[in-house]
Amino acid sequence: MRAIDSLSTVIRNESVNDEYKHMVVKVDRAAATVAPGQFFNLLCPQSESDKPFFRRPMSTYFADPVSGQVEFLYKVVGTGTRTLAELKSGDILPILGPLGKGFVLKDHYKHILIIGRGVGLATLAPLAEAAADRKITVTAILSARDREHLMSQHRFTNIYANVIEIIDTDNSSSMHNLEKLTLDLYNQQPFDAIFTCGSTRITKLLQQLVIDLDIDGQVAVEQQMACGVGMCYCCVKPFQLNNENKKMVSKRVCIDGPVFDIREFAL
Ligand SMILES: Cc1cc2nc3c(=O)[nH]c(=O)nc-3n(C[C@H](O)[C@H](O)[C@H](O)COP(=O)(O)OP(=O)(O)OC[C@H]3O[C@@H](n4cnc5c(N)ncnc54)[C@H](O)[C@@H]3O)c2cc1C
Ligand code: FES
């Protein structure tokens, strides 16, 4: 899947709740051939008050190579996403992608566990659908601050995933509860791999669990980026190689990832 620098046209850009928006754009159909976990680098527009300069990375929430539609689910947090939120139907948005290395579904996987928090669910929903296409059973734990900020449940229930919702307000999302829940689920029906995105705390917990259970784990890492194509080294992070010497190495999240073996996750 070659990255294409294209001018997309905004079809819809609507609020999902008080923090998140869902944007649908139309692109060159070749650019809409995207693997789960890959992302686009969006050239957010400039407004009177906000002048984003670099592009902003955004995971593909949905992509259809037949219609050329690509969707993003994003949280409005700063300069770039604020101007993105102002885009209206018919506006032009330059987007570069698909970029990066996505999730890998190995042939022997029969059952996977997906655990996402907040906007991490945007990255994980296409993975659940790709797994279902391959007849892999999906269990999904969706985590959020409160019920109002739980999102994308339909994307998981539509593929008949076993969906469990956990939230901060009743403490069901605490690391202690999540660890117990994950182990209980594993004992009921062992999974071959765990996939996560959206929380460093959850990633650290799952890193230990995949080591203890001796199963695979993959994490989609969020990191500030500029070029998105490996040229500027702005997205370098330390990783610990998953081999005997456990050497620490620097990797560029944009082209070495954003999806990594969870055992390599260091910070
Ligand atoms: C591969 C990848 C996929 C992503 N997918 C999504 C997605 O699907 N939906 C979504 O809402 N967000 C996603 N993000 C995060 C998104 O890129 C940032 O929220 C966005 O760039 C912030 O831009 P801003 O100008 O609005 O905020 P800024 O004004 O630049 O920053 C506001 C706050 O966000 C933090 N921030 C800035 N850039 C990033 C970043 N790249 N990752 C994490 N935190 C950042 C800053 O440290 C600051 O605290 C993704 C990031 C990566 C690397
Ligand atoms: S964002 Fe430029 S090298 Fe990764």
Write the pLDDT tens digit of every residue in 251-262.
999 999 999 999
pLDDT (0 to 100) of residue 216: 97
Q: Whose CA is nearest to atom 27 of ligand 1?
A: 78
**How many angstroms does the Cα of residue 112 sit away from the middle of ligand 1?**
27
Could you give the CA distance from residue 98 to residue 250 in angstroms, rounded to a whole number?
Answer: 23
For the stretch 173-220, pLDDT in tens is 999 999 999 999 999 999 999 999 999 999 999 999 999 999 999 999
CA of 61 to the centre of ligand 1 (A): 15
The mean pLDDT value for 40-47 works out to: 95
Q: At residue 28, does pLDDT exceed 90?
A: no
Angstrom distance (rounded) from CA 170 to CA 161:
23
Average of per-residue pLDDT across 49-56? 93
39, 58 Cβ separation under 8 angstroms: yes
Ligand 1 environment, Cβ below 6 A: 39, 52, 56-59, 72-75, 77-81, 119, 122-123, 222-225, 258
**pLDDT at position 2, please?**
80
Q: Tens digits of per-residue pLDDT, 216-243?
A: 999 999 999 999 999 999 999 999 988 8
At residue 48, does pLDDT exceed 90? no
- Residue bearing the CA closest to ligand 1, atom 8: 59
Percentage of residues in the chain having pLDDT higher than 70: 99
Q: Are 257 and 251 in contact (CB under 8 A)?
A: yes
CA-nearest residue, atom 38 of ligand 1: 224
Determine if ligand 2 sits within 6 Å of the CB of residue 231.
yes
Strand pairing class (92-99; 69-75): unpaired
Segment 166-174 mean pLDDT: 95
Over the stretch 74-129, which tens digit does the pLDDT of each residue have? 999 999 999 999 999 999 999 999 999 999 999 999 999 999 998 898 899 999 99
- Give residue 167's pLDDT band: very low, low, confident or very high (50, 70, 90): very high
Is the CB–ligand 2 distance for residue 140 below 6 Å? no
Write down how long the chain is: 267
